[in-house]
Amino acid sequence: MKKIIVLTILFAVSTSFNSFAQNYSKEKSQINSTVENPDRFSLMLSDVLVRRLSLEYEHILSSGNMSITVPFSVTLSSFEDIWSDQVHWWIGTGLKFYPTGQGTVRYFVGAEFRFISVTENIYDWVYSEYGSYEINSSDKYLHAAFLINNGLIYSPTDEFFVSLSMGLGFLSRNPDSSKEILVPMATPSFRLGFKF
């Protein structure tokens, strides 16, 4: 008889613990599954220095730990970069991982892939018996880049944020290019953004 009473008590206690654990996990998943203002739109202020209008759209997934990004940029006034290329525009896609989720200060890391439209300028010197002279030529190409971005985001309010990031990776030139095909690439950025 004592065994039946003990088993009945153990069964009742285990059932109540089970229902408590299920209710607790439901409440916790409801809290974490909704991200307030999951869409973000930011302006890259650092690109203004190189005469580009660069924007990024970001959508935070429901877990709050991952997001999908679509950055794009248009050159307002042509200039040559360190590789003697004139960048016209670029568009990309990427993922960001937030290890600590969403909050006032957040760290992120993620991969980004870009397509970059450029005019490649080539400067050659020709030497002859009458002297030397320079020949300039240019070709338009579509290059690709792969970057790993690291950064910090600070959100003083629910609608506004600033971020600082550094992307490091490689630029893969078009195979028809006469220059090095694979070169290192770094993209520091400072952004102001809005959540909606």
pTM: 0.73
- The residues spanned by each domain of the chain are 1-33, 35-195
The β-bridge relationship of strands 160-172 and 105-128 is: unpaired
Residue-wise pLDDT for 97-133, tens only, equals: 999 999 899 999 999 999 999 998 777 778 877 877 7
Class of domain 35-195: mainly beta
Q: Which of 151, 148, 153, 152 is nearest to 186 (CA)?
A: 148
